[in-house]
Structure 1
């Protein structure tokens, strides 16, 4: 899917699309009267089974195909008239192979995440606006073992997982004036999810009081994944500690990996890169500083991802599983070879990738030989 966003900024202004390669492009479509645009926005709200009016002129919702939409009605809050912005839903979800082919991450990094997630880690995917955080989160989630129970919590449904034992939960805002319905927030859904005994809790984005509940759950043994806005590990930690999240460092240290993803210009082209992958090693008992270890770093000069030489997390996993570190590294290398083979042959379909991951958990040697033979 090359077109990512469609937006209208008001009357007598061309609709704009955001193209994956060419970025912002004006179209030849223009709403020439306020009545025409207002009518179209009301129709969009109707398709979402929601209501927008002079009394309630703003709306965040989802279209029937899963696309995210933001609407404003008339000139109550937007002076140029009604507006809409549609973030298109990809019917064919991107997979980890797409991220490798787009050079967002390397095959070695993908193998590292696969091995880490198999061994039950908690991950924060962070970055700026439109950095592809949710896409990366969804791709990583495919590595969760098929038998584990997952509860995902989002404002608008974007995650698409292959797991049967998955409960996708979505927030709800009240339907309008004079109704008895109430808001159901991320915080409400997160508290409810803890009573469902999930192995993994996936929150689309943490930004409020629900973050404290998620980090408490992680500290008590649940596994968590989420996205957060922040363009460095320090910025992420600062944001977690600040209002309205107020998470103490003792809980932040429960996260295993923080990734930083950015939209950058590399070799004249706009693209997304995971510029840093950092492990949270622990908390210094004296200084209370969070101890980190950067495992992978994007090299801007060579457009490659450099391994920094040591993974404390892989060392910890090998010690926990009672296997030599060399064996753990060998396993990661095998998965790297498999992923490279899949990328080379463009085995990137959502169902194909999830099936290979599932079968590898059941019979790794057979699947490894299959993929090695098609190189």
Structure 2
């Protein structure tokens, strides 16, 4: 049901847990502020009472029998729901519509995320923030950014319900002995929960990621970059060049990283190393490794450990989700010895990125900065009163002053700003280096890049944006070098 007083701007369906029950999300304006509205079927007073009775019956009947209502297969919970309706005779007082709605709320409250389930299911939501009692739940929407929801955590009971749902599904326990918890949901989303005594009385954040990654074509479609830049990046990756993507939190670094990684030749061995599993590839020889640090456990595997281990596996490409410590030094050693490298880092400018790299705890020797072929700056910007993402620039390392550590950059591509919202090309020295390395002329390199641009334009014309279709086209291109 839609609340009165909101001016609806956008309205779209969300995949429901129960066939026949429709749920939606709406972006709405009220008193000059944008809101995110999760829309679920409304229960009347009688149905509310029946829902509480059914849940109590399920818990009392099955929990003592070690029947895990949260993790049991969906069909088993459906069978238990049906048994309760029949054994108690409740089915006589409920019509089909009411039963379907009650089933939805049973599944949502026992196997879903309760009041925030719609938010978790919405593919456009990137972050969900539960700030505490008396405060609204906020979301970060991929198209509208920070939005308040009408769901207010009105009391400690509701806050406990939400935090418990998140913790249970993430397979963690909340105790005052361990008041700060980082975990992952079954979908792989990042979870951070803080309770008393670290904060009063509790807060939670879920950081989501897209299950099906964006392709480079989708990013071109959304004008994050243009087709010339995509062809340039494709050519670098095809020739095993190394790229660092940098930007602020939420700029879209991992999204861009995943889109670029899809362009790696399918015959290459790729090792991905992450804190939390977010990268998804279709490469047959892909090895995915995730750092592990269980509190109170003697088992601890860091990014540094995994990057070192990856060197013994003879990878063609090493992809590190984000560098911020000593793992960066090992990655640079790998790049120096001929491995391709892709990674991201937090920085507001190319100068800040270099300063972080050559300072503790990364400690990259300044002369090794030249091993990076391109730095890519991605950011959230405002274009025509709407927040979106753009690649602000692609920078190649020309030279490094070993005394001062100052890096001379060549700006290959640069965003022209909000007024024109285009990208300018200023020439590439990496093309010259690749031509020399391969013993060909720069004009041949430029022709090969132009061919990749033509292929991307043809795929754009055919609207072959989707992950599966684009991945198939790239693989077939590499396999047969056919003309698309």
Provide the TM-score with structure 2 as the length reference.
0.71
Higher relative CO (Cα under 8 Å, sequence separation at least 6) belongs to 1
Task: Specify the SS of the correspondent of 1:365.
Answer: coil
State the distance in 1 between where 2:232 and 2:220 align: 13
Paired residues of 1:6 and 1:15 also in contact (CA < 8 A): yes
**1:325 maps to 2:446:** no
2:76 corresponds to which residue?
none
Paired residues of 1:123 and 1:256 also in contact (CA < 8 A): yes
- Give 5+ residue unaligned stretches, structure 1: 368-375
**1:76 maps to 2:197:** yes
Paired residues of 2:367 and 2:402 also in contact (CA < 8 A): no
State the distance in 2 between where 1:151 and 1:331 align: 27
State the distance in 1 between where 2:414 and 2:269 align: 32
1:265 corresponds to which residue?
382
- Give 5+ residue unaligned stretches, structure 2: 1-122
Deviates more, 1:279-288 or 1:326-335: 279-288
State the distance in 1 between where 2:133 and 2:421 align: 43
1:303 corresponds to which residue?
421
Q: Give the drift of 1:363.
A: 2.3
State the distance in 2 between where 1:230 and 1:334 align: 33
Q: Give the drift of 1:286.
A: 7.0
2:78 corresponds to which residue?
none
Matches within 5 A, 1:169-184: 169-176=289-296, 180-184=297-301
Cα-Cα RMSD: 1.7
2:268 corresponds to which residue?
148
Q: 1:248 aligns with which of 365, 369, 375?
A: 365
**1:91 maps to 2:208:** no
Q: Give the drift of 1:285.
A: 6.2
Measured against aligned partners, the alpha-carbon deviations of 1:274-314 in whole angstroms (never above 9, x if no partner) come to 10100113434676543321100000131001001x21101
State the distance in 2 between where 1:119 and 1:76 align: 53
Measured against aligned partners, the alpha-carbon deviations of 1:20-51 in whole angstroms (never above 9, x if no partner) come to 22222221223332243234323322322333
Q: Give the drift of 1:267.
A: 1.6
2:350 corresponds to which residue?
233
Task: Specify the SS of the correspondent of 1:151.
Answer: strand
Q: Give the drift of 1:138.
A: 0.5
Deviates more, 1:106-115 or 1:36-45: 36-45
Q: 1:100 aligns with which of 216, 220, 231?
A: 220
Q: 2:255 aligns with which of 135, 155, 162?
A: 135
**1:25 maps to 2:147:** yes
State the distance in 2 between where 1:213 and 1:47 align: 35
Task: Specify the SS of the correspondent of 1:120.
Answer: coil
Q: Give the drift of 1:161.
A: 0.8
State the distance in 1 between where 2:332 and 2:147 align: 41
**1:215 maps to 2:336:** no
Q: Give the drift of 1:166.
A: 0.9
Paired residues of 2:215 and 2:467 also in contact (CA < 8 A): yes
Matches within 5 A, 1:23-62: 23-62=145-184
Measured against aligned partners, the alpha-carbon deviations of 1:59-108 in whole angstroms (never above 9, x if no partner) come to 222211122222112x32223x2211112232221110111011111100
Q: 2:285 aligns with which of 165, 168, 171?
A: 165
Q: Give the drift of 1:181.
A: 3.2
Paired residues of 2:366 and 2:402 also in contact (CA < 8 A): no
State the distance in 1 between where 2:402 and 2:192 align: 46
Task: Specify the SS of the correspondent of 1:78.
Answer: coil
Paired residues of 2:293 and 2:300 also in contact (CA < 8 A): yes
**1:67 maps to 2:189:** yes
Residues 61 and 344 of structure 1, relative CA distance in 2, 3 Å threshold? farther
State the distance in 2 between where 1:24 and 1:255 align: 34
Paired residues of 2:369 and 2:400 also in contact (CA < 8 A): no
Paired residues of 2:358 and 2:364 also in contact (CA < 8 A): yes
1:370 corresponds to which residue?
none
Task: Specify the SS of the correspondent of 2:300.
Answer: coil
1:315 corresponds to which residue?
432
- Equivalent pairs counted in the alignment come to 361
State the distance in 2 between where 1:7 and 1:200 align: 35
List, as ranges, runs of 4+ consecutive aligned residues in structure 1 with deviation greater than 6 Å. Answer: none
State the distance in 2 between where 1:76 and 1:253 align: 48
Task: Specify the SS of the correspondent of 1:260.
Answer: strand
State the distance in 2 between where 1:286 and 1:8 align: 49
Q: Give the drift of 1:260.
A: 0.7
